[in-house]
Structure 1
Amino acid sequence: MSSPKDMFPAYILDGVRRKFDLPPIFFLDLCPMFPPVVVISDPKIARKITLEDRAPRCPGVFQPLKPAATRRWIETLSRDNWVKNHALFGVSFTAAHFVRMIPRMSEDLGPMVQMLVQYSQTGQVFKMEKMAKLAILEMTGRAIFARQLGTFADHSEWSAAYDGAVSFISAARNPFKRPFIMGKWRKRCQVFHALIREEICACFREQTSKVRPKPSLLHSSFTAYLGDKLPQFLSSQCQNGEMSEEYVQELVSSCAGAFLAAVSGSAALSYCLMLLHQHPNIARRVQAEHDDIFSSDRNITLQLLKMNPERLNQLVFTLAVVKETLRLFSMGVILRQPSSDTVISNDGQIYSLRDHIVVLFHTAMHRRPDLFPEPDKFDPDRFMPGSRPKVPSDAWRPFEKGRGNCTGQELALVQLKLVLLLVVREFDFELAYESRSSRGPDIYGGPAYVTLSGTGPGPAG
């Protein structure tokens, strides 16, 4: 069966790998369109590239995201040790920090639950990926700004601005279309960035007033900035206690990048719900865990979250479901550019990576039967504590590892577990693809697959 034309290229490449039974290391000559590529799905070699050699990201890999992601953000990602000294992420991007935000996040998701209730009563068909995107946006806004963005409201300013900023990403990957869309796309991105700037300035005014600020990433960054603990941005050099323009630009670019990255979690959430629908026995185990750790009553669950948000960390099987979903449906491809003297070895052979681009192929690695027995099976138990066989070291890497890993992985896991807690017991989801729709390849989840934009699953055909 031919693949849908908008399928994410990594899944097409995995189909080629399976058809020709290619080894964990293989080379592709894409000249003249692209430099020579070495595709790696071996965890030990991936570890060498990322943790030992610390190969940087491939230049230009984020270029198709401009101007939704600013040039400043893209350049920042290429720096070594960029997280440690970053104005936003180097301060408090930790699991413990996000746990404190869980009570407010759960309240912010109230409109989502109400909307799902309405859909269940009317039988209206809706796109889960869109619903998931609004939920992830809302929770990310809470983490950054410490306030509810209102993404579920009719004519939401935030959801409209975000949609405008990402609306042309897929088309922008086509070099023949890109010149014709840039003018309109740039204007929409300016609206998105202006909204972020406005919120940053409002948060800073609150920080410097007598009002006690709520916990947020910006609050932590402002505290470090005002204490001259960000060496690249010294508040003592600014007049009247205002933020320097350079610091504001850094925050705007960082917040925009954080929103763009976070919403990829909407695809993971959509797949979680799809897989639970397809595997009712596993869904019942998730529901039982939620009842045991929290309560069968949603209001009591919300109260328990408010009193003890750390309780969310006790959802061990729910986390295993999330991890297994991310194994089956990785949301990206990692490109690295190793130094000219980098070599790798496999089966007694030594290969030079001079002038090559390295593709760390998570999609293939996560579906290798020698690493994950029955690799196409949805089996969350493989991620349960004490499971046998144990998941090999460095084999599960949806957030990547080492230099250039996903700094938002802790936030993403909190978000996914929280949404599942609030909806899995309350609602039964059913797939609503039209019967005449052609099915995608089974290894891609049947009627759903990751699209070229990488933001979520779509119906095949």
Structure 2
Amino acid sequence: MGLSFLSHTATTIALIGVAATACSYTVSRFLHARRACRDLPQPPHSFWFGHLIIAGKIFSCYPPDSYFHHLLISLSREYDLPDLFYLDLWPFANPMVVLCAPELAAQITTEQAYPKDPAVGHYLSPFLGKSSILSVSGPKWKALHSIFVPAFAPAYIRTMADGILDEVLIYHDNLCQLAKSKQPFSMSSVTIELTFNVIGRAVFKNPFHNEKGRKFMKNFKSGLDHAFNGALSTCNWLLNMVPKWILVWKVNRYIKKKVTSRFAKLRSGEMPSVNKSRTILDLLLQQKLDSSKGISGDSEFIEVAVSNIKTFLAAGHETTAHTIGYVFMLLSKRPEVVRKAREEHDTAFSPDFNRTVEMIRENPEKLYELHYTTGIIKETLRLFPVSSVARAKGEGMTFMYNGKPLNLTDQVLIICHLAIHYNEKAFPSPCEFQPERFITQTVPKDAWRPFERGARGCIGQDLAMMQMRMVLLITLRSFEFEALGINPHDNSMASYTTLDKEFGNLIYQMQSLSARPIGGQNMIVRFAKGHEAYVNRT
């Protein structure tokens, strides 16, 4: 009896201790969030609610699931905040410092390579795994980066031009069929099929055209949606957990089979050395064969390989596809820009479709002569940046503001691309679509940053730019696009842009792994008048 009483007492005391510790930790975090950076510029702050109430009011003006950066730039404009301000959304997010100027963004990316915020790994790992190059830092990131750089070197990207062109021609044929049908379609879905097959060539050397490949592509996209589009935050979260984990398992199984099959053949000598290959998979296999580079043990190697193959597949298809969709949306209302682009394509290549295709195959470097077309892409990325940056202050690193060092040890540093890209000092008339600004004007070196800058900038930006140049060259003279679902606003909803007076809610992006367009970019495509020669290629 006595021993039983003592046992229960000990258990009770232990539980009280755990509860007290948890309560103490929560209070400590609460006080830290409410008191941290109290001297920094910030919107009106509540001791009890931080910035949650004003953030909620601003977010309520936007469509559901809007991109977080809409909130950041709106706070900046609404309260006339300077280029750096503090934001306290605890307990829903760690306290953060928002950077809205090119020179401040440069401090944590190019002048010093601040490590990724650890929360990025927690966010990405359920689908991408724990060893993704997007989330790791320090020596592990350096080792992975050194492995993958050769796959995206500009010289090697040019050798991929034939394969990319094959995919773009299939895309052109698909648009022809849609133009003949005269039916609405999702530009995002059609273009994602293109970009997924292109990144498939970069990863595996082969696209996903066969039945197994198409099934994998479907599972991968569904898994991505479940992981990052808020499916698990609904009232059916428990039901959604089952399909999510099944999809992750199916995706992992497909990739593991690819990795182990090729690795076994390499070990047995059935396949030639991968020394001359630069696909993502073969570079990983070469690293495995070279024990001096750091990943030892088959299980660890498989985990790293699967995680990073998923990373490149995810990052390599969504952002490019959505940007292409935004290009077509913007050009649907700008016939003069389309005319200039078509003239450039006729001049730099040929008015003849088949000859244009031949010229790309003969000399893909001619794509770099498309300066106006490149301006269209860059201006679209300026207006609709798709990436996000969250960094943490590393040991021994400093951050200067107004000539003084700031102690940002426990803060998340967020670069607000929208605020920088809509900065009138860097981009005069920032709400206007002006491709010429990247040809005739001098853009401050750190102001245009859709791929980010510095060592941790997007490793695949040359592949993305080549692909987008090629898409516009092959399609713009064949088709005209009409964006559907446009309901222009009488008054701008946002303080930073007037584009919603032209396109309504379509200009607002949704929160996901990257910033996604609202509604799948529904469009109708028609054959361009006077360009019938581009409709039926031989």
TM-score interval (norm. to shorter) = 0.7 to 0.9
Aligned: 1:401 with 2:453: yes
* Residue 219 of structure 2 is aligned to residue 161 of structure 1: yes
Report the alpha carbon displacement of residue 40 of structure 1 after superposing the two structures with TM.
Answer: 0.6
Q: How does 1:299-314 map to 2 (within 5 A)?
A: 299-314=354-369
Out of 314, 322, 325, the position equivalent to 1:267 is 322
User: Are 1:199 and 2:199 matched, yes or no?
Assistant: no
SS of 2:473's equivalent? helix
User: In the TM superposition, what are the counterparts of 1:322-337 in structure 2 within 5 Å?
Assistant: 322-337=377-392
Distance between the aligned counterparts of 1:323 and 1:396, measured in 2?
8
- Amino acid corresponding to residue 308 of structure 2 in structure 1: S
* Residue in structure 1 matched with residue 482 of structure 2 by the alignment: 430
> Please, which runs of 5 or more residues in structure 2 have no aligned partner?
1-59, 521-538
Of 515, 518, 530, the match for 1:458:
518
Once residues 33 and 226 of structure 1 are traced to their aligned partners in structure 2, the CA distance between those partners, rounded to angstroms, is 40
- The 1-side partners of 2:160 and 2:354 are apart by 18
Q: Determine the structure 1 residue equivalent to 2:310.
A: 256
Distance 1:348 1:437, change over 3 A: closer
Higher RCO, 1 vs 2 (CA within 8 Å, ≥6 residues apart):
1
Cα shift at 1:253: 1.3
- Matched with 1:421 is 473
Contact 2:124 2:135 in 1 (8 A): no
Question: Could you tell me which amino acid in structure 1 is paired with residue 333 of structure 2?
Answer: Q
Q: Which residue of 2 aligns with 1:231?
A: 293
2:368 is aligned with 1:368: no
Amino acid of the structure 1 residue aligned with 2:286: A
Aligned amino acid, residue 87 of structure 2: L
Q: Structure 1 residues 64, 31: closer, same or farther in 2, change over 3 A?
A: closer
8 Å CA contact retained: 1:81, 1:403? no
Distance in 2 (alpha carbons) for counterparts of 1:196 and 1:420: 32
Pairing 1:90-169 to 2, within 5 Å after superposition? 90-150=149-209, 156-168=214-226, 169=228
Bigger share in helix: 2
Answer whether contact 2:167 2:198 (CA < 8 A) is retained: yes
Residue 35 of structure 1 contacts residue 357 of structure 1 at CA under 8 Å; is this kept in 2? Answer: yes
Q: Distance in 1 between matches of 2:128 and 2:284?
A: 22
CA distance in 1, matches of 2:188, 2:127: 20
Q: Cα deviation per residue 1:295-314 (whole Å; 9 max; x = unaligned)?
A: 22322222222222222222
Q: Secondary structure at the match of 2:116?
A: coil
Q: Following TM superposition, by how much is the alpha carbon of 1:179 offset from its aligned partner in structure 2, in angstroms?
A: 5.8
Aligned residue number for residue 74 of structure 2? 15
- The one-letter code of the counterpart of 1:398 is P
> SS of the counterpart of 1:67?
helix
Letter in 2 for 1:251: A
Write the distance in 2 (CA, Å) between the matches of 1:137 and 1:174. 27
Distance 1:229 1:286, change over 3 A: farther
Shift of 1:342: 5.4
Q: Distance in 2 between matches of 1:232 and 1:318?
A: 42
Q: TM-score, normalised by structure 2?
A: 0.75
Deviation for aligned residue 1:104: 1.3
Change (3 A) 1:98 1:313: same
- CA separation of 1:264 and 1:32: change in aligned 2, threshold 3 A: same
Q: Could you tell me how far 1:97 is from its partner in structure 2?
A: 0.9
- Closer/same/farther in 2, CA of residues 105 and 225 from structure 1, 3 Å limit: same
**TM-score calculated relative to the size of structure 1:** 0.87
Instruction: Name the CA shift for 1:435/1:352 in 2 (closer, same or farther; >3 Å).
Output: closer
The 8 Å contact of residues 452 and 458 in structure 2, kept in 1 or not, is answered as: yes
Which range moved further: 263-272 or 224-233? 224-233
Residue aligning to 1:182: 241
Asked if the contact 1:7–1:450 (Cα under 8 Å) also holds between the matched residues in 2, the reply is yes
Tell me the number of residue pairs that the alignment of Structure 1 and Structure 2 aligns. Answer: 448
For 1:71, the aligned partner's letter is: K
Higher mean displacement: 212-221 or 124-133? 212-221
Pairwise CA RMSD: 3.2
Task: Tell me how far 1:64 sits from its aligned partner.
Answer: 2.8
What corresponds to 2:351 in structure 1? Answer: 296
User: Sequence identity, in percent?
Assistant: 27
Q: 1:154 to 1:212 in 2, by over 3 A?
A: closer
| Structure 1 gap ranges (5+) | 238-243
Q: 1:27 to 1:76 in 2, by over 3 A?
A: closer
What is the DSSP-based 3-state SS (H/G/I as helix, E as strand, rest coil) of the residue aligned with 2:127?
coil
Distance 1:179 1:53, change over 3 A: farther
Q: Is the 8 A contact 1:366 1:375 kept in 2?
A: yes
| Equivalent residues of 1:57, 1:404 under 8 A apart | no
Contact 2:97–2:411 under 8 Å retained in 1: yes
Q: Shift of residue 362 of structure 1? A: 0.9
Q: Which residue number in structure 1 is paired with residue 87 of structure 2?
A: 28
Aligned letter for 2:216? Answer: W
Provide the residue aligned with 1:217 in structure 2. 279
Q: 1:76 to 1:440 in 2, by over 3 A?
A: closer
How far off is 1:25 after superposition?
1.0
What is the CA distance between 1:334 and its match in structure 2? 0.8
| Paired residue secondary structure (1:82) | helix
- What's the secondary structure of 2:141's corresponding residue? coil
> Could you tell me how far 1:220 is from its partner in structure 2?
5.0
Larger Rg belongs to = 2
